[in-house]
Amino acid sequence: MNIHGKNFIGTTLSATGTEHSQAYHLKSGKALDGEFISATEHELNQAMELAFAAFQDYKRLSQSRRADFLEAIAHEISTLSDEAIERVTQETALPKARIMGESARTIGQLNSFANLLREGSWLEATIDLAQADRQPIPKVDIRRMMVPIGPVAVFAASNFPLAFSVAGGDTASALAAGNPVIVKAHSGHMGTSEMIANAIIIAAKKTGMPDGVFSMLHGPGRTIGQGLVKHPILKAVGFTGSLSAGRLLFDLANARPEPIPVFAEMGSINPVFVAPKALELHGNDIAKQYAASITLGVGQFCTNPGLIIGLAGNDLDQFITTLGHEIALIAPATMLNQTVFNGYQKSYDTLISQSGIQSEAVSDQEAHSTKCEAPSTVASVAGKTFLSNAKFREEVFGPFSLIVKCADSKELEAVLSRLEGQLTTTIMAEKSELDGFASIIEILSQRSGRILFNGVPTGVEVCAAMQHGGPYPACTDSRFTSVGTAAIKRFVRPLAFQNWPDESLPDELKNSNPLGIWRLVDNNWNNNAIA
């Protein structure tokens, strides 16, 4: 496989810098093909200026043309060779089955946004017709729709090298909205990033997109990442990663002379409340279900259930015993990269050293090697102790979960009320118990973007109704989602046209409705022409 390691400045490959990075086979430690050259400040400026120029044309393209582009990207990704898939597994230690599934998800996301563009209702085309004879003053003609905001920087995520990376949901939604994208490649899968970037460029050429609609830069966050956010041409940021990095980008964006939105997903412990009757009737089954969820993907899912809460008693004790037994049977597995592994070890060591915590289980299966292999772990703490120490509310990104044993319902509510914003919260209960936990459900709802009943939070469906976002610190803006077609709303803004001649309006707002889209006309939804 020919990996060149250069930066994509639109359709131009560029490598004028002197700093470079090497990719490695994560399990063996051997160097992989490709020396990846960090972009210079000049190359960053070139990418931004090209994106600005591309925006002037790209934003005017029809919804159908942009849909063709997204479908072409999906097609190019679908043609990746077995050798390319092997490169992804080498860089990330993720199994081939996981990569194939993630590839299908990435392709599905792109096609979903293409379908959304052709359907058109996401534009929220709204028309209030003029009423010249209205008293006491005439009513003017006002028509509003969503329009793209401008070049968007996307920070590729480490834990989903396809679905949340170069051509992931952030890129797909920003391109669908009509914005050029500049991706900051992740250092954990640079070869993978190059292959996907090349697929996007091929698709752009085949569908006649303006040069600069997509660029990708290699380099460290302190220079390339911060340089992107500070650049005056940039209009928005999409980010998935740690709280510290996301908050840094958010603060940088708000310190600009022209502040811009940062849509950052930054972490979540995804608390789960297991109700007494559910523990009594199904405790062992729930324990087995959650052992699989906690360790899925070596715990490297943003929706990993990192906190399980219940009322102290024999049923919770039996649940902990079963969960510990299941966890102990799971062999240590290789994490995404050395940085992620080191972070997991540091967070776990810090947490387990706190007063009052008790280790319940650690994987006792033999590790295959020592490089980046993390044991799955479970610990417990009393509700009173949990309330007294904020460290217990911090995320441990990896195959770990903390069980909180509450003395009574009052302490349970206090524990839940102390939690910060989350991507998800879950209640495991019998239907007959729900009325008795109305206040608990309300607390969980206030602290999350998605509340689950009798399920596991891992496994995020890509659909129109999905909400993958939540109150801070889970995200910087809880009004939006980063998964599903509603993610497009992050990268558009409303624009109203007042008293414009019909022939000069966008097709989406013309009387004849040439696109046949659904519009709100004088407070009535229809897809008819206006007589």
User: Where do the structural domains in the chain lie, given as residue ranges?
Assistant: 21-266+482-489, 271-453
DSSP string, 292-349: HHHHGGGG--TT---EEEEE-SHHHHHHHHHHHHHHHTSPPEE-S-HHHHHHHHHHHH
Which pLDDT value is given to residue 366? Answer: 62
On average, the pLDDT of the chain sits at: 96
Which pLDDT value is given to residue 2? Answer: 87
pLDDT score of 365 more than 70: no
Range name among 16-30, 107-121, 375-389, 394-408 with the lowest pLDDT average: 16-30
CA distances from 41 to 164, 362, 418 (A): 26, 47, 44
Tens digit of each residue's pLDDT (9 = 90 or more) over 181-201: 999 999 999 999 999 999 999
As a whole number of angstroms, the distance between CA 230 and CA 165 comes to: 21
Is residue 35 within a helix (H) or strand (E), and if so which, with residue range? strand 31-37
Q: What is the pTM of this model?
A: 0.96
pLDDT score of 79 more than 60: yes
pLDDT score of 480 more than 70: yes
For residue 161, name the pLDDT band (cuts at 50, 70, 90). Answer: very high
> Which member of 265, 395, 411, 508 is catalytic?
265
φ/ψ of 424, rounded to 5, equals -135, 155
Which pLDDT value is given to residue 324? Answer: 95
> Is 475 in the active site?
no
Does 21-266+482-489 match 271-453 in CATH topology? no
> Which member of 302, 372, 406, 475 is catalytic?
302
> Is 265 in the active site?
yes
Residues contacting 280, CB < 8 A, separation 6+: 315
Best CATH choice for the domain 271-453 from the list 1.25.40.10, 3.40.309.10, 1.10.287.70, 3.20.20.410: 3.40.309.10
CATH number of the 21-266+482-489 domain? 3.40.605.10
Q: Which two tokens stand for residue 468?
A: 């993958």
